[in-house]
Structure 1
Amino acid sequence: MKKYLTSFGIVGAVFILAACSSNEQATDSSTKASTTMNSQDEKQTKYPLSLSVLDNDGKNHEQTFEKEPERVVTNNLSSTELLLALGLKEKIVGIMQPDNQVTGTYAKEVDSLPVVGDKMTVSKEKIAEKNPDVVIGRAMAFTDDAIGSIASYNDLGIQTYLQEASNMKDKPQLTTIIEDVRHLGEIFNKQVTAETYAKQLEKRLATVEKQVSEKKGTEELTLLPIVAFDSTKSTFSIFNISESIQSSMLRELNVKPAIEGKSASPSLETIIQTNPDIILYVTADRNKAMDETAVDSIKGEALLQEVKAIKNDRVYTVAYDDFMDYGTRLFDTMEMLSTKLYGNK
């Protein structure tokens, strides 16, 4: 049996925000002349703005924004969608090629954005050709071996913002995504819009927490996320999420990873031995042929019939971008699982 383990560090559909007041973008001359600022003006970003960002090695870098950024490159889908949710499409001058065909609220907008290159091969120089004021996205990508380090961009006069939710060194919580929303709102002078969105996310989280607290059992459930199940060979990959933001999302549901740590044998024996309460099958475009029959094959595997997830019909499916990224799609996945686990009790 072929055995391999895929380890990842996190994704969530975003909702259209109500348009913010025109006061967020500008104030009339009489307001500018006034010494007493109204509540809307108080939420305007004051530049220069300095923020500290944490790289994947745990080192902080101060980034200073002299004014509102006008040109942005993003390196992953969740950062792109966060900017779209804040009404910043016109500022996005480049994105990385998405891993999968994009679905959801912002699919058409993402498809219309210019692609700089593939995240595995694109160079810092190619990104710099877009003349961005800031590069935003997944922390792990900001190295000299990938898209370029924070320092190397700063040397070019380009600022960075690394999604805090993507940095495993900082042990991100699900609420870290909400903090990313607020930080981006501050950077781009969209604080009113960002705060509205952040409060929507907080409300969604509180709703799930209430549902779980009322209906959960005394013991934590266990979940095993797997991908690329080949029914002809019984081979697959196990996602290790024990130190990632996905683990934080599961804790909100009184669920923990069935496998802790960084290694495990992705075999039928592992499924039997861990005996998870839930199997979460993660689909991806590159595994489309296998994905079509995967769940039925898992449920029908004779050796797995005594596994709790099979016996209790708790084998669920989720798209890769909705589970293994670092944005608000994770809230959709949390709500889906909450409904599956606790909605009908």
Structure 2
Amino acid sequence: MNKRVLRMTTATFATLFLLTACGQKEPENSETTVSTTEVPKGVNETVYPLEIEVTDPEGKTYTQKFEKVPERIVTNNLSSIEILLELGLKDKIVGITQPDNEVTGEFADDVKDLEVIGDKMTISKETIAGYTPDIVVGREMAFNDESIGSVATLNDLGIQTYIQTASSMTTNPPLTNVIDDVLTLGKIFNVNERAEEYAKELETRYQTVVEKVKAQDGDETLTLLPIVAYDSSKSSFAVFNISGGLQSDLLKQLNVKPAVEGSVADPSLETIINTNPDIILYVTADRNADLDADAIENIKKEPLLKDVNAVKENRIFTTTYDDFMDYGVRIFDTLEMLGDNLYSENK
């Protein structure tokens, strides 16, 4: 059987569309691979069997073989749920894990319709198997036998997997891996046209911000401190780790660097004062709702912080946990928000 290799990276985004139409081979130096039977010229459909590779939390790579379109999906995080919904696959989702926060936005009602089969901290591979999925889709960290099941275990049960490349903990994935995930899921479920349209929308959003930052070339690199759960009575907070993962690339594309490397930091005002960040990004979450309500105002009013650059320059911004720390399209909202605030002509 003749096979071709489709390399799905944003760097070869335009090439992908051309190849889909013309059936030519792509450059051999691309990153993520998807193998499938030769597609006739002009036909934008997946031909099965389809083989893709996924990488587990230990960095091991497994080939997943799809004989046909998967009909039953279990997924373990909001970002994969929303991508699947965007691709029109709601009726195929038979189970989800409980979202971390109340879901907002265009898919809020759709998510409420889906069956919650457990919490991400306590769900088991036995629970997953009980829903007889054809495929489990989601973030890398959960694919182990203490949680939803390892790739090997799920495969032994006849269940294929797709691990979001944007959720990799063994590499530092770029933001464009979110686009790669959209395209690969489109290939798996034979909804290529919609996936390519959506990927093009995301690529345009991404490039718009990147070009805006490039236009300010020469400006000094700003520092950013992401904090959560600011408690004015105790003058305490927590710092998110943005030294790796999608969040690291988000800062890189904005010509911004972390004010604190890693996630270990004294949860007191001393950290804000000593690091003197140019930007404070306050991250809201349902579990901290009481503190979130007044957090920004408390930071601005705190006398000890009056000389901190972010406070003096009024560069204190808010995002949500899902828009910043998940592994999907919502992170483009945070990219655009920060890009507009830092690089707009009227800033």
Alignment TM-score, normalising by the size of structure 2: 0.86
Give identity over the alignment, percent: 60
Amino acid at match of 1:110: V
**Secondary structure of residue in 2 paired with 1:170:** coil
Correspondence for 1:205: 206
Separation (CA, whole Å) in 2 of partners of 1:216 and 1:112: 46
The 5 Å alignment of 1:83-232 reads: 83-215=84-216, 217-232=218-233
Unaligned regions of 5+ residues in structure 1, if any? 1-35
Q: CA deviation at 1:57?
A: 1.1
2:51 maps to 1:50: yes
Q: Is the 8 A contact 2:95 2:131 kept in 1?
A: yes
Mapping 1:229-308, distance limit 5 Å = 229-308=230-309
Instruction: After TM superposition, give the deviation of residue 218 of structure 1 in Å.
Output: 2.5
Kept in 2, the 8 Å contact 1:216–1:254? The answer is: no
CA distance in 2, matches of 1:261, 1:238: 9
**CA displacement, residues 228-267 of structure 1 (integer Å, 9 cap, x when unaligned):** 1111111111101111111101211111111113422222
Find the counterpart in structure 1 of residue 23 from structure 2: none
CA distance, structure 1, for counterparts of residue 151 and residue 266 of structure 2 = 36
- SS of the residue 2:85 aligns to: helix
CA distance in 1, matches of 2:103, 2:194: 24
Structure 2 contact 140–168 (Cα < 8 Å) conserved: yes
C-alpha RMSD over aligned residues: 1.3
User: d(CA) in 2 for partners of 1:112 and 1:330?
Assistant: 24
Distance (whole Å) between structure 2 residues aligned to residue 176 and residue 112 of structure 1: 28
Distance 2:245 2:309 in 1: 25
**Number of the residue aligned with 1:314:** 315
| CA spacing shift, 1:159–1:200, aligned 2, 3 Å | same
Q: Aligned residue for 2:67?
A: 66
- Asked if 1 retains the 8 angstrom alpha-carbon contact of 2:134 and 2:159, the reply is yes
Post-superposition CA distance 1:91-111 (Å, at most 9, x none): 000011111100011111011
Counterpart contact for 1:229–1:236, Cα < 8 Å = yes
Instruction: Count matched residues.
Output: 308
Give the aligned residue type for 2:175: L
Take 1:285 and 1:100, find their aligned partners in 2: how far apart are those partners?
6
SS in 2 for 1:273: helix
**Structure 1 stretches (4+) deviating beyond 4 angstroms?**
none
Distance 1:291 1:216 in 2: 34
**Aligned-partner SS, 1:94:** strand
Give the structure-1-normalised TM-score: 0.87
Distance 1:168 1:37 in 2: 37
CA distance in 1 between partners of 2:198 and 2:86 (Å): 8
Judge conservation of contact 1:133–1:158 (CA < 8 Å) in 2. Answer: yes
Per-residue deviation at 1:37? 4.6
CA distance in 2, matches of 1:38, 1:147: 40
Q: In structure 1, how many angstroms separate the alpha carbons of the residues matched to 2:130 and 2:291? A: 39
